[in-house]
A and B are shown apart, each in its own frame.
Chain A
Amino acid sequence: MSKTIARRTNLLLAASRERKIPYLLLGIALILFPIVDSYTPHVDFVGDAGRWILLALGLNIVVGYAGLLDLGYAAFFAIGAYTFAILASPQFGIHISFWPLLLVAAFVAAFFGILLGAPTLRLRGDYLAIVTLGFGEIVPRVIRNAPKFTGGVNGIVGTDQPKIPAFLGFHGYSFGLNPVPYYYLMLVIIVISILLIRNLRNSRLGRAWMAVREDEVAASATGINTVTTKLLAFALGASFSGFAGSYYASKLFIVTPESFSFIVSVTVLLMVVLGGMGNIRGVIVGALVIYALQSYVLVQLPGWIASATQALNIGFLNNIDVASYVQQSSILIFGVILVVIMLLRPQGLIPSAQRKVELELGTSEESVSDLRGSA
C-alpha cells in the first residue's frame, strides 16, 4: 500500500516538474502579447476571455468541488457589477476607488450567497439548483423594477475607471477605455485566483468539499459539518462572480440588467462542464473554447458559409437567411453540448482524475458492491 502511494507521489512530482516549462512559456507569451500585437481590439478580445475564465473558475468551486448545481451564477455577477456601479458612478455621486470596491463587491456577492444558501443548503442538494434558478431570474427583475437605485432598464452609465494609486508611480495613471491595462490587470487577477483556488482545493476545506460531494452521509459521519462546508463553497463561488462583476462594470463603463440573464449562468456552467468539473486547467480550456465559440465562431460562421456557398455556387443556401439562423441556434447548440457531454464524457475534455472515476462508476452504492465482489 505505502509503495503504491510512494510511486504515485513520485509520478505526480515528476509530472509537475515537466509541466513547469510549458507554463512558463505560456506566461511569457501572454505578457508579451499586447506588445507584439498592438491592435487594441485583439487585446480586448483576449482580455475579455479572462472575465469568463474568472467566472468559470469561481463556478468550478461550487459545481466541480462541492458538487452543487448553481443555475443563478449570473445573479452574483450582477450584484457585483451593481455594487460597483452604485458606489463608483454619477448615479449617487459616490466615487469610491476601484481597488477596495473589487473586494467590497466580492464581499456583497458572498453575503447574498450566504443569505440564499443558508436556508437551502440544509436540504437536499438539488433544491439549490431551482432556488438559484429563481434567484437568477429575480435579481435582474428587481434591478429593472427599482430604477431609483439601479437606473432601471437603462442601467447605470459612466462607471468610474481604475486609477493606479499615485504612491505606486505612473503619475496616477487612469485606465480610461484603453483595454491594455485591463488585460494585464485580468492576467494578474487570474494568476492570483488560480493559486488561491489550488491551495483551497488542497486545504482541509477543499478536501471536505470533495468528501461532501462524493458521499454526504459518510462525510457527515467523519465529523464534517456538511452545511457549513457547502455554504462556504457556495459563498466563495459567489464572491468570485461578484469580483468579476465589479471588474466588468468598470471596464464596460455601463451596467444594464440585460447583461445578466439566465443564458450567462448557463454559459459559465457549460464552460465548467465542457472543460472538466473539478479541474482548474480543464475549466480554463472549457472557458476558452466556449468563449471562442460564442464570440468568434458563431459571429463569423454566417460569413464563412456565405463565402463557401459563393465559391461552390450552391444556389439554395443563398436563399436562406443563414446569419439569423446561426444566431438563433446558439441556445440549441449550448443545450446539445451540455447533454452530449453529460451522456458521453461527463468528466469533460480535461478531466480531474478523481472526478472521472466518480462520474464513470457512479457513486457510493456501486463502489461498495465492487469491493464486496473482489473480497
Chain B
Amino acid sequence: MRFFADQLIFGLTTGAIYALIALGYTLVYGIIELINFAHGDVYTVGGLIGLLLIGMLHLQGATALWLIPGLLLVFLVAMSLNGLLGVVIERVAYRRLRNAPRLAPLITAVGVSFILEGAIFLVKGPNHISYPNLLPSGTISIFGYALGAQNLIIIVLALVLMVGLQQFIQRTQIGRAMRATAQDRDAARLMGININRTIAVTFFLGSALAAAGGIINGFYFQDIFFNQGFQAGLFAFTAAVFGGIGNVVGASVGGFVIGLIVAMVGGYMQGGQQWSDVFVFGILILVLVFRPTGLFGMRVPEK
C-alpha cells in the first residue's frame, strides 16, 4: 500500500509537469491547428532560463526570507522570457505560413525544434546538467502517510496555474478573443479582434507554462539536458490528445493520467521504465483509434 501511494504521488507530480507542457500544445493547436513540434524544446529552454536565474540570484543555500521572493521572481521572469521566445518563434517561423498548405508550418516546426535543440547543445553540451532543488525536503503526515512537501507544492502550483489559465480564457477580454479566434478566425477578425495579437498571446501563455514545467522538472529530478524536451513533448502531446486536443481542462487531466500510467508501469512492471514510452505511444494509438476526439473533445469538422 505504501508503495502504491508512493507511485501515485510520483505519478501525480510528473503528471503535473506533463500537464503544464500539454497546455501549450493544446492552446496552440486549438487556435491555429498546428502541432508545435518546437514546444518540447521551448520547455527545455524554460528550464535552462530558470537555472540561469537561480544562479544569478544566488538562491542556492539562501535563507527562507530571500528564497521565497527569489523563487517567485525566478518563475515570473523565466515564464515571461520563455513566453517571449514563443511569441518570437510564432512571429518569425509560423505567421507567414498561416495560409500555406498544412505541411509547410509542420515542417517549419520541426526545423525550429532542431534549431532550439542545436542551440542548447552548442551552449550547454551533450551532458546532463545538475539542477538545484530549491523546494523544501520535509514531509507532511496525512493519515500516517509521509507526503513529500515538494510533491505537494508542485501539484498545487500546477493546479493554480491551470485554474488561472482557465479563468483567464473564460473571463478576460483576451481570453474571449482567443476562444473566438479558435472557433472561426475570419468571423473573429470581422468582429474587430486583432488576430495576430491573439495568436501571439496564445503562444506566450503556452511557452510561459512550459517554462514553469521546465523549472519544476529541474527541481524534482535535479537534472536537465539538451533533448529532454523530445520525450517530454511526446508524452505531453499524448496527454493533450487524450484529454481532447484544444481543450484546456482535457490537457490538464490528460497530463495527470499519463503521469500516473507511466508511474504505475514503471513501478509494477518488470523493467517497466524502459518500456514507458512504448506504453505511452500505445495509448496515443489507442486513443486515436477509439476516441480521436479525446475525453473532453468535441468533433471538429475538417476545415
A residues adjacent to B (C-beta < 8 A): 63, 67-69, 71, 116, 119-120, 122-127, 129-131, 133-135, 137-138, 141-142, 145, 213, 216-217, 262, 266, 269, 273, 277, 325, 328-339, 342-343, 346, 358-359, 362-363, 365-366
Contact = CB atoms under 8 A, between A and B. Distances in A.
A363 B102 CA distance: 9
Mostly helix, strand, loop or mixed at chain A's interface?
helix
Nearest to B275: A145
A336 B111 contact: yes
A62 B191 CA distance: 40
Interface residues of B, number: 50
Contacts of A216: 302
A221 to B, nearest CB: 12
Interface in B77-107: 93, 96-97, 99-107
Nearest to B108: A342
A207 to B, nearest CB: 18
A274 to B, nearest CB: 11
Contact of A130 (B35, B103, B121, B277): B35
Contacts of A331: 114, 117-118, 121
B273 to A, nearest CB: 11
A334 to B, nearest CB: 5
Determine which residue in B99, B103, B285 has the highest number of CB atoms from chain A within 10 A of its CB, and name it: B103
Given A145-B271, A335-B118, A266 B110 contact: yes
Contact of A338 (B97, B107, B280, B281): B107
Determine which residue in A325, A346, A365 has the highest number of CB atoms from chain B within 10 A of its CB, and name it: A346
B122 interface: yes
B146 interface: no
Contact of B111 (A126, A137, A338, A359): A338
Interface in B267-296: 271, 274-275, 277-278, 280-281, 284-285, 288-289, 292
Given A331-B118, A342-B97, A343-B97, A142 B103 contact: no
Interface string B150-179: 000000000000000000000000000000
Contacts of A124: 302
